[in-house]
Structure 1
Amino acid sequence: MCWKKRPKRSALTIIACAVVYVGAVNLLALYSMVKSYNSPVSWVQRFGHLYIGKPDTNNWTCKGLRYSTIPLPLTALVSFPGSGNTWLRHVIQQATGVATGSVYSDVGLKRDGFPGEGQTNASVIVIKTHSLGPDERARYVRAILLIRDPFDALLSEFNRRHGGHKGYAGRVHFQKNWYDYIFGTAGDWYDLYHDWLTFDGPLHVVMYKDLRENPSVELDRLMKFLGVSLSHKEKFCVMNNYEGNYRRGGKSASVSDRYTDYMVYMINNYKRKLSTELGHYLNKSNIRIS
């Protein structure tokens, strides 16, 4: 027995015991990752990491993440960049156990919890896209629109472009790039959603603010649209793992610190136009984007 007390213990014995301990921990970690044969993570990925102490098993927190073996309806997850698409994908994966796809191939996302990144076939439950136009809409059977207040979405996307998924743009970036970015991009926010409100198939609208403030209700609505049933235990697990890893730490500059009066005037016009169109689509006159 390695751990039996002895008057004297050689260095080799201590090293041997440490190796046995680390090996046992890693075997347990590996087993927890590969116990589901449906896991989409390749064997290369499974054996390509050494887990010492606590393994990173975020992908398997609620359900064993897998590709669907039954063809699923091609479902677009549409949003303007910076609107929480990655976060919503995390929630969907936690709730369904099925990988989410994307028309893009972000290596960082593929490595950190989204193995379906780059997949656009019927094996994934939703497909991330920021694109618009008739050809893009025609690819899908149904669609989810994730809408975030443009002031927050534009700022979030600017931070991503210059600070990565979890960082912030520096002062020099705001000084050099902010003005051109806003006047070249703010209209794209409106154009994207205006275009997708003409989608012919089933369309589910998710307001980012509601997703944050009423997560349980919004999760129920979303799962109903996707045709997925959750037990109380499964829903409890999703709620406990709601935030995910792709959130910026610290505190960002406020809207009032970054937007000039004319920027505010311009963006508010886009908000009012889309709110009116969205209200007509949903047949509710009190729809507001905030």
Structure 2
Amino acid sequence: MSRKSVFLVAVTVVMLYFSIILFMLSPLHGAKSSYYGNNYMNHFGYRQTPQVQWCKELKWRSPPAPKVTALASFPGSGNTWLRYLLQQSTGIVTGSIYMDYGLKLHGFPAENTTDGSVLVVKTHGAPPLDTYKFDAAVLLIRNPRDAILADFNRLFKGHIGTAPKYAFKRRSNNNKRSDWATHVYQQLREWEVMHQKWLTQFPGPIHLVFYEVLVRDTRTELNAILQFLNHTVSEDDMDCTILNKEGIYRRKNKHQDFDPYTADMYKGLEQVRQRILRLVNEYQKKNNVTVMRKA
């Protein structure tokens, strides 16, 4: 191999290395600069770390709790925001079965931690085949219309960004359907299966939370979740959490004049949503769960 070839290979490796580092340090994978201020750390384009105002210093459970609770939700249902609220109110870190470097560096140091040292463990999947993985679960349910749209936005612009309008019309590989339409129908099937499995197959206790109700009455719903987790917080801690409840982890609705869903899509969304709501009612009756407020 010639010296020139060796040099080019070396340059490529170095560029790849720094690209990986930049990716890992990029806040929330595509977040808008307005969330972090307009200044940049240097000419490489690092954005400033988002300043999360924590109500108390975050810590791991010590000693670890004997039971592990899942925080289960379909992608786009507000899992990250609820983790943020739980960390604000308790000061205890929340874990995840995933490793999201953007979240790890910006408020969630226990990414990829799944034991009793964390308050809850994030998962977007169905209940694990290993029934000893989780002892209990908080199931966060969001209207599939909004969850599917939020996840589509995440695929394009990260945890708090919004996909551009042209993304909803794009077609790949000469498909008759747009990428957006393909995404909707595929994700809608997965939304139903994921919730159906948690409601019918998970052997442990489940605390059901509707995202829309959590937004509408954050204090009441958060207190109910903490009671399920057998964790109490002071009124001062809860007041601080509510004061800072928006944080930086909720996506703003950028295209308020734009609805990407068709009439046929809405019909399918509502049919699936009603089937899951019936399962929710059946779960509550079977397990003698107090009737929850629905969205």
Query: What TM-score bracket applies, with the shorter chain setting the length?
Result: 0.7 to 0.9
**Hey, what does 1:102 align to over in structure 2?**
96
| TM-fit CA distance, 1:250 | 5.1
> In the alignment, is residue 122 of structure 1 matched against residue 116 of structure 2?
yes
**Hey, what does 1:229 align to over in structure 2?**
232
**Hey, what does 2:35 align to over in structure 1?**
none
Q: Answer whether contact 1:275 1:287 (CA < 8 A) is retained.
A: no
| TM-fit CA distance, 1:285 | 11
**Hey, what does 1:167 align to over in structure 2?**
161
Q: Equivalents in 1 of 2:262, 2:75: separation in Å?
A: 21
Q: Equivalents in 1 of 2:88, 2:181: separation in Å?
A: 38
SS at match of 2:109: coil
Q: Equivalents in 2 of 1:288, 1:188: separation in Å?
A: 24
**Cα distance change of structure 1 residues 169 and 63 upon mapping to structure 2, 3 Å threshold:** same
1:208 to 205, 211, 225: 211
Q: Equivalents in 1 of 2:124, 2:132: separation in Å?
A: 14
| TM-fit CA distance, 1:164 | 1.2
> In the alignment, is residue 113 of structure 1 matched against residue 107 of structure 2?
yes
Tell me how large the CA RMSD over aligned residues is: 2.4
1:188 to 168, 187, 190: 190
Count of residues in correspondence between the two structures: 236
SS at match of 1:266: helix
**Hey, what does 1:78 align to over in structure 2?**
72
The one-letter amino acid of 1:75's match is T
Q: Equivalents in 1 of 2:244, 2:182: separation in Å?
A: 38
Q: Equivalents in 1 of 2:155, 2:130: separation in Å?
A: 24
1:66 to 56, 59, 69: 59
Q: Equivalents in 2 of 1:97, 1:285: separation in Å?
A: 28
**Cα distance change of structure 1 residues 286 and 91 upon mapping to structure 2, 3 Å threshold:** closer
| TM-fit CA distance, 1:101 | 0.4
Q: Answer whether contact 2:50 2:106 (CA < 8 A) is retained.
A: no
| TM-fit CA distance, 1:248 | 2.4
**Cα distance change of structure 1 residues 138 and 265 upon mapping to structure 2, 3 Å threshold:** farther
Bigger helix fraction: 1
> In the alignment, is residue 147 of structure 1 matched against residue 149 of structure 2?
no
SS at match of 1:247: coil
Q: Equivalents in 1 of 2:128, 2:100: separation in Å?
A: 25
- Per-residue CA distance 1:171-210 (angstroms, 9 max, x = gap): 2321121011011111111111110012111110111011
**Hey, what does 1:281 align to over in structure 2?**
283
Q: Equivalents in 1 of 2:218, 2:165: separation in Å?
A: 34
> In the alignment, is residue 241 of structure 1 matched against residue 244 of structure 2?
yes
| TM-fit CA distance, 1:137 | 5.1
SS at match of 1:257: coil
Say which is worse superposed, 233-242 or 256-265, in terms of deviation. Answer: 256-265
Q: Equivalents in 1 of 2:131, 2:85: separation in Å?
A: 24
Say which is worse superposed, 240-249 or 131-140, in terms of deviation. Answer: 131-140
SS at match of 1:128: strand
SS at match of 2:139: strand
Q: Which has the larger radius of gyration?
A: 1
| TM-fit CA distance, 1:56 | 6.2
Any gaps of 5 or more consecutive residues in structure 2?
1-40, 42-47, 171-178
The one-letter amino acid of 2:247's match is G
Q: Answer whether contact 1:137 1:196 (CA < 8 A) is retained.
A: no
Q: Answer whether contact 1:275 1:288 (CA < 8 A) is retained.
A: no
Q: Answer whether contact 2:284 2:291 (CA < 8 A) is retained.
A: no
Q: Answer whether contact 1:66 1:97 (CA < 8 A) is retained.
A: yes
Q: Equivalents in 2 of 1:202, 1:217: separation in Å?
A: 20
Any gaps of 5 or more consecutive residues in structure 1?
1-48
The one-letter amino acid of 2:120's match is V
SS at match of 2:169: helix
SS at match of 1:68: coil
- The share of aligned pairs that are identical, in percent, is 38
Q: Answer whether contact 1:154 1:182 (CA < 8 A) is retained.
A: yes
**Hey, what does 2:33 align to over in structure 1?**
none
Q: Equivalents in 1 of 2:51, 2:167: separation in Å?
A: 35
The one-letter amino acid of 1:273's match is R
SS at match of 1:77: strand
